[in-house]
Copies of this chain bind each other. A is one copy, B any other.
Amino acid sequence: MSTRPSGTSDALPAEFGFIGRIFRPLAGEGALDLRDDAAVLTPPAGREMVMAVDAMVEGVHFLPDDPADTVGRKLLRCNLSDLAAMDATPLGYLLTVARPRHVAEPWFTAFADGLRADQGTYGLGLLGGDTTSTTGPLVLSLTIVGHVAPGCALRRTTARAGDGLWVTGTIGDGALGLLALRGQVPDPDHALATRYRLPCPRLGLGLHGIASAAMDVSDGLVQDAGHLARESGVGVVIEVDRVPLSDAARAAGPQWRETCLTGGDDYELLLAVPPEHEQALLARGRHHGVRMTRIGRFIDPAGSAGVQLRDAHGAEVKVAHTGWSHL
């Protein structure tokens, strides 16, 4: 902290008005109206707590001209996707904002409007936060809090050789959406840009007892499938022609197939599912209106460790890079 003067002796510092106007309306149960040192939360009886955190930086994770309401929602949804990957239920979130002078209050009003909309959609509230100034780009950090039945959180470490590799929804729209916003990919209906700006976390599918392992696809399908295999001590084969693409991604043309496989920002779930649970998984998908596609299989690592990509004839497919790096 610093000891620089901040006003007259009766004035409240600027951030109190800012927090009151922008963030207090978002306060959920346990937030103590954002007036106290911390939030107090009663965990649902007999449940475990699940927590994750993600940061987004202006110019790195979102574009300066992205609509402010989608920036907050995207950050929240990325975190909700981490809960979804564990089969957990959202409860609330905490938020820090490092605010540069060039981002004025109307931007934050829209940012909060987006968060408010998603709080209603996903059933959670703001529990606490901190607002500070920065000389650099806008930095947002969001901690998500959820709950899960004891011992029922899906993990990345428990895929087994013989499990099918499944994915929810379609792959590649987020990465193509970013390229569409840069004018590099046609996107007449804005379907791709919308997916880039507003991912759909796959909450509430009820996958415990069906999937043996899970994670969300955030850094690119190939890289993330590799993580799932590596953390589980098995290999994985992706049959690239089975990877489900949206109509918009298909319309972009075959030259973008590798981008779909390796680009980030999908926020779909990657699942390891034993063959005997496939029908139950498909039933879950039908019940929730979520496409479930088997795109490969986990194999004995003695045969071949890591990720292999195969075409419909079993021939190896090479990609130039595997996905997004954060550093």
- A residues in contact (CB < 8 Å) with B: 1-11, 13-15, 18, 32, 35-43, 48-57, 59-61, 82-83, 85-86, 88, 94-100, 127-137, 139, 141, 143-146, 148, 150, 153, 155-157, 174-175, 178-179, 215-216, 218-220, 222-223, 231, 259, 262-265, 306-307, 318-327
Task: Output the least CB separation between A169 and chain B (Å).
Answer: 17
Contact (Cβ within 8 A) A96 B141:
yes
- Beyond A40-B48, A40-B153, A60-B133, 16 additional pairs, beta carbon < 8 A: A1-B178, A1-B218, A1-B324, A2-B264, A3-B179, A6-B324, A9-B318, A9-B320, A37-B83, A39-B52, A53-B95, A53-B128, A55-B132, A57-B98, A57-B133, A135-B136
**Identical copies in the complex:** 2
Give Cα A232 to B195, complex, Å.
46
The 7 A-B pairs at the shortest CB distance, nearest first, are namely A136-B136, A13-B325, A6-B325, A38-B52, A141-B141, A1-B264, A55-B96
> Which residue of the partner chain B has the closest CB to A11?
B322
Chain B hits for A129, CB < 8 A: 53
**With A and B bound together, what is the CA distance between A178 and B133 in angstroms?**
18
Our pick among B39, B40, B132, B306 for the contact of A61 (Cβ within 8 Å) is: B132
Whether B133 pairs with A136 at a CB distance below 8 angstroms is: no
Kindly state the separation between the CA atoms of A13 and B97 in the bound complex, as whole angstroms: 27
Residues in B with CB closer than 8 Å to A14 are 325-327
Beta-carbon contact of B43 and A43 below 8 Å: yes
Q: Which residues of the other chain, B, contact A59 by a CB distance below 8 angstroms?
A: 135
B55 touches A48 (CB 8 A): no
Closest to A222 in B: B9
A307-B10 Cα distance, complex, nearest whole Å? 8
Chain B residues with CB under 8 Å of A83's CB are 37-38
